[in-house]
Amino acid sequence: MGEAVAPGATDGAIDIAPEWRAWVTENVLRGVSKNEIVERLTNEGIDLEAAREIHRRVTSSPELIGAARVTKRARRLELILRLHREVAAQADEPNTIPRLADVDPSLFYDHYYAANRPVVLEGYATQWPAMRWTFAEFAQRFGDVEVQLTVRRGEDANYNLPANTHGVTVPLREVIERIETEPRSNDFYMIAHGRNSDIPELHRIFDDVILDDGILDPKKLRGSTALWLGPAGTLTPLHHDTSNILFVQLVGRKRFRLASPFEVDLAENAHAMYALDEEGNHRIRGAFGDSVLEKEVILEPGDALFIPVGWWHHVEALDPSISIAFNNFPPANDFDWYRPGSVT
């Protein structure tokens, strides 16, 4: 049985019938029984016969009959979601993410990519020349390159929303010098929104990656990456993406907390692709809630995390770090239509 949701108290006057009609409609569609609805109406001061008449008019209206067809489908989908969530919680280690030391493309695509399941590819990048990167080397090689840096993140509770991102253009050397003087901060960060990996002068960083294992498509590399560079303490609030991502950690460590798209409550107050709390602010710490099945992993240098499209994730840098995110998988990887937080 659904749970009745009532509007505010009234004086019981019948001229408020439109408000109560809307309330009854909502609760009928929620599956609340006639007796419970009528009882709630009478408890609010509405005459018993008037309460029954409101219920009769609502349930016999063509509008509700049409809406009920749609709602029935939605309730079926809710049962499917509940089934997935309850079965997932029965795993031996429901809060962990599988780890693979050897990557077989067929296994990866059949069991993780197509199944929409996260997985850690241990040591994925250990043979890359990029594993030799240091901040000092980056400053020497690319110090004069002008990059986009988000700043003043502490001034805005929703600092990661595109409309609120405070970006400045600075030489990469200045970013690295600031990391050296402020090794722990969430006030500045080179993020995906800055499109720094598309800067021609930085294309040489991809000479230091190896994409020959069948997981990623090197022909799709340009325009399909994001460079993340910043101090320890940077926080990327809880959000989902509209493409599958392989997040490769190269310098430092990052902690990821993930939740399945089946955790639909996270979309309740979402804006764009970011989960927001009831006050409309980013979910930054303690963000998931007790009812959400959360998975957590710490990425070490050389590890890669496959983040399936739609999965909610929150990221914290444990050390000053450099990371590259890739979405150049061979299959089609554009799911821009997936925006549950925008449903009205």
pLDDT, tens digit, 9 for 90 and up, residues 149-159: 999 988 877 77
pLDDT, tens digit, for every residue of 246-283?
A: 999 999 999 999 999 999 888 887 877 888 765 555 65
pLDDT band at 300 (very low <50, low <70, confident <90, very high): very high
Statement: residue 1 has pLDDT above 50: no
Domain boundary among 27, 58, 85: 85
Instruction: Give yes or no: residues 45 and 193 share one domain.
Output: no
Q: How high does pLDDT run on average in the chain?
A: 89
Does residue 245 contact residue 334 with C-beta atoms inside 8 Å? no
The verdict on residue 334 lying in a domain is yes
The range of the structural domain enclosing residue 277 comes to 93-342
In a domain, residue 8? The reply is: no
Q: Is 4 helix (H, G, I), strand (E, B) or coil?
A: coil
* For residues 335-342, average pLDDT: 93
Q: If you average pLDDT over residues 75-84, what whole number do you get?
A: 91
pLDDT at 314 over 70: yes
Q: pLDDT tens digits, residue range 193-205? A: 889 999 999 999 9
Q: Do 74 and 199 reside in the same domain of the chain?
A: no
Ramachandran class of 45: left when φ > 0, alpha when ψ lies in -120 to 50, beta otherwise = left
Q: What is the pLDDT of residue 281?
A: 59
Q: Where among 40, 55, 85 does a domain terminate? A: 85
Q: Where are the alpha helices (DSSP H) in the chain?
A: 17-29, 34-43, 48-60, 62-88, 105-108, 135-142, 172-181
CA–CA distance, 254 with 141 (Å, rounded to integer): 24
pLDDT digits (tens, 9 = 90+) for 159-191: 776 655 688 999 999 999 999 999 999 999 999
Same domain, 338 and 302: yes
Residue 212 sits in the same domain as residue 238: yes
| Average pLDDT over every residue of 37-44 | 92
Q: Would 5 be classed as within a structural domain?
A: no
Q: Which residue has the higher pLDDT, 273 or 20?
A: 273
41 pLDDT higher than 80:
yes
Question: Exposed e or buried b for every residue in 306-317, given b needs 16+ CB within 10 A?
Answer: bbbbbbbbbbbb
CA atoms of 133 and 216, how far apart (whole Å): 21
Distance CA 13, CA 319 (A): 63
